[in-house]
Amino acid sequence: MPDRKPTRTNDDERTTLHALLQYCRVSFVRKLDGVDDATARRRLLPSDTTLLWITQHLAHAEHLWVTQRFAGRPDDAPPPADTLGAAIDVYRATWARTDAIVAASSLDEPCRNIDVEPNVNLRWVVAHLVEETARHAGHADILRELLDGATGR
């Protein structure tokens, strides 16, 4: 898979954060190209870390941090998908909800329903999603290389 670098920008903070988050999201999903369900479930580590689990986890993390903790909405997330294709669809649908909430909110707004202290604002939440997604994209890159030798951003 060809290497793709993030788009460089001189835009404002919100646009920059979104561009980096979207780059990390797309990079992660690209690592799943050509992976079948059996491979997505294959465990190479003692933990539950598989390509399918990471996909489910990233969708859950965005929903938890933005929809529930920041926006204070109820936990109406769809159940974790049991196929890789369905999990990717859920993850992509989560992006749309996340992006709509972030676009309609100030980065300075605090979370409305946080269960830990201290509270954080939306800026921190989006930055956290960038680092969380990037970290798990790295995990996926290593798993993919171990599974079939595919590498690249």
Domain ranges of the chain: 13-148
Rounded Cα distance between 30 and 140, Å, is: 10
Rounded Cα distance between 7 and 74, Å, is: 34
Higher pLDDT, 32 or 75: 32
Q: How many CA atoms lie within 13 A of 11 on its CB side?
A: 11
Q: Residue 3: is its pLDDT beyond 70?
A: no
Q: Residue 55: is its pLDDT beyond 70?
A: yes
pLDDT of residue 76: 84
The amino acid present at 18, given as its one-letter code, is H
Q: Residue 153: is its pLDDT beyond 90?
A: no
β-partners of residue 110 are 121
pLDDT of residue 85: 98
pLDDT of residue 54: 98
Residue 116: pLDDT band by 50, 70, 90 thresholds? Answer: confident
Mean pLDDT of the chain: 93
Residue carrying the six token digits 């954060």: 17
Three-state secondary-structure class, residue 121: strand
pLDDT of residue 1: 58
Rounded Cα distance between 126 and 51, Å, is: 23
DSSP designation for 65: I
Q: Which CATH number fits domain 13-148: 1.10.3720.10, 1.20.120.450, 3.40.50.670, 3.20.20.140?
A: 1.20.120.450
Rounded Cα distance between 2 and 132, Å, is: 23
Question: pTM here?
Answer: 0.92
